[in-house]
Each structure stands twice: as C-alpha cells, then as structure tokens.
Amino acid sequence: MGEERVKEEALEIIGVLQALPRLVVFDLDYTLWPFYCECCSKREMPFLYPHAMGILNALKDKGIDVAIASRSPTPDIAKTFLDKLGMRTMFVAQEIFPSWTHKTEHFQRIHRRTGVPFKSMLFFDDEGRNTEAVSKMGVTSILVDNGINIEKLRLGLRKFARASVSFNRNQVE
C-alpha cells in the first residue's frame, strides 16, 4: 500500500471517530523505523516502515499534533535521521535522550512542553514495559510489533475513543 493510499485510509479511520487524541506520540526505533539508531552511522540514509509517513501526514492533516518519545543512546543520530527524512519539523515535541527508566520522564516533558493532558494522548511503542508504564499515567498506549501500520493506528484510535467515552462518563457521574 503506497503512502497516499495509507494516508487516505488513515483519514477515513480518523473521520469516523467522535473522540480523537490531541497528541499522538511515537517511539522511533522499531516503531517509526525498522532499526536501532545506535547501530547506524549518521552517513547512512534512513527509511521508515511503509505506513509511517502516510499515517503521520493524515494525523497532521486532521490537526492532530505528533511528538516523539525515544530512549535512544544516540540522540544525535536520531535527529540527523529525522532531518534526512525531512521530518524534524513535523513534531511539536521531540524528547530523544538516553534513559534507564521507562518513558515516563519523556511524557512529563512532553506534557510540560505542550500542555496536553495525558488522557488526551495516544502512544505507540515496540516495548511493552514502556506502554505499560505510560498507560499508568493515563495515556492510551499501543504495543506495535512490526512498526506502526494502519491496523495499529485503527486499534489505537478506537481504544482511545473508548477510553475517552469512559472517562467522560465517569466525570459526569
């Protein structure tokens, strides 16, 4: 499926849901691209998973901000790769730094930078320990196994919408 077809399908999925996240956060390694930055050289030309750019463009077209939360030990390589892919300006927050903890610190920083409440965020990552830790903060989190794709986007947006309805129902009661 080409980038434009992925974008069209993502726009269709987004268009039918009542509740949408204000911010979608992505891990980098094995979520947006199929490698670890620390195993690469800045001289290499990076590439994304096939559905990644279409999904990012669809989110942007619908006015949904995107951010990065990456525990990379080589943030300089990650940022160089984002530049090479022409993506650096797509993200309202880029928290790319080494950490021995889960991604909770990344999300604290993203929240401070954007003002978006955790319950208004959707997160995609390839490590279960990260999705579990961030879920406890109130972020809807989705584990991806072979990078972001249209099926995981659909799953994430539906899970977010269900959580949003539950949260709003509980606020009223």
In the residue annotation, 145 being an active-site residue is answered as no
Indicate the SS3 state at residue 8.
helix
* Selected catalytic residue, list 29, 65, 125, 126: 29
Q: From the CB of residue 132, how many other CB atoms can be counted at a distance below 10 Å?
A: 13
Burial class (CB in 10 A: 0-12, 13-18, 19+), 2: exposed
Question: Alpha helices, DSSP H only, in 17-122?
Answer: 52-61, 75-84, 104-114
DSSP string spanning 99-127? Answer: -SS-THHHHHHHHHHH---GGGEEEEES-
- Residue closest to 50 by CA, chosen among 36, 27, 34, 69: 34
Respond yes or no: is residue 125 known to be catalytic: no
Please tell me which residue in 27, 65, 125, 126 is annotated as part of the active site: 27
Catalytic residues: 27, 29
